[in-house]
Structure 1
Amino acid sequence: MITKGQERCLYVFPMAEFRRIAEQLHETPMTHKAARAYSRVFFASAHDEVPDKQGRVTVPIHLRGYAGLDRELVVIGASSRVEIWDAAAWASYLEDSEDDFADIEEGVLPGGL
């Protein structure tokens, strides 16, 4: 499944992971405004893409527009998903975030590595 991700990238999930996330969102109360907003964008943008015989997938035009995908792309592994970035956007994101990388570890990985 391909859908909109944060920071103007695309998320690509295996179906099992997409279903797990869908279940988590389903369990969130409808009264939670942020969950409703996230669910709307996440699901309305989702496309089930099947690779062709050469392993290629088509990225729908509205998702390409959202992520600014034109010619040069970067595909990264991000835990349980793959992210697709415009190459210039990825370079900019790394430049903005790499200096803070060491500081972020403590809050994300309690106890460190």
Structure 2
Amino acid sequence: MAADFAGSFEHSLDSKGRVIIPVSLRDQLGEQFTIALNSENTALALYPLEKWEEIKARLSQVRSTDVKGMMYVRYIMGNAYTGNVMDAQGRILLPQKLRSKVGLARELVFVGMNDHIEIWDASRYQAQEQEAEMDFADLLAHMEERY
């Protein structure tokens, strides 16, 4: 069954770099999942196993002679942490390397993105949400033209 992640949830990072996964997202995430960078390199992404396998299948189509393509694959795979599991309290450890890349501080926002979850720094997410609200008509026109 495909995941159906939706909603936004605020949580705090603890001193050990762990965060609690919102209860409403836990079951869909599954027992094992991958932590990686989102497609815009602005937040972390949690991918259920099934979705991560789809991403890997697409990446495996890049020819080894495609230098730019291989650079992209190397970046994505080199910043992906597979086989993650939640502890008994529903917490996960967010790798320091990834937290630094996207500027995560203590206050975080989990955002359901249909087939995966994004984890944003709260202030960065708030700024992005305000920008989306100000440009909503333009965003809607963009979506209607393309999808």
TM-score by shorter chain over 0.5: yes
Aligned amino acid, residue 64 of structure 2: M
The reply on whether 1:12 has 2:46 as its aligned counterpart is: yes
More helix by share: 1
Residue 109 of structure 1 deviates from its aligned partner by 4.2
Q: For each residue in 1:75-106, what CA deviation from the matched residue of structure 2 results, as whole angstroms up to 9, or x when unmatched?
A: 00112110000001111112223222332233
Structure 2 residues without counterparts, runs of 5 or longer: 1-33
Q: For each residue in 1:13-39, what CA deviation from the matched residue of structure 2 results, as whole angstroms up to 9, or x when unmatched?
A: 001100101101111333444432321
Q: When the two structures are superposed, what TM-score results if normalisation uses the length of structure 1? A: 0.85
Structure 1 residues without counterparts, runs of 5 or longer: none
Structure-2 residue corresponding to 1:50:
85
Structure-2 residue corresponding to 1:2:
35
CA distance in 1, matches of 2:124, 2:72: 22
Paired residues in the alignment total 112
Structure-2 residue corresponding to 1:39:
73
CA distance in 2, matches of 1:29, 1:97: 36
More strand by share: 2
Q: RMSD of aligned C-alpha atoms?
A: 2.0
CA distance in 2, matches of 1:52, 1:109: 42
Matched-pair contact (CA < 8 Å) for 1:4–1:41: no
Aligned amino acid, residue 84 of structure 1: I
Matches within 5 A, 1:1-113: 1-5=34-38, 6-48=40-82, 49-110=84-145
Residue 110 of structure 1 deviates from its aligned partner by 4.7
The verdict on how the C-alpha distance between 1:111 and 1:68 changes in structure 2, with shifts beyond 3 A counting, is closer
Structure-1 residue corresponding to 2:18:
none
- Report the secondary structure of 1:35's partner residue: helix
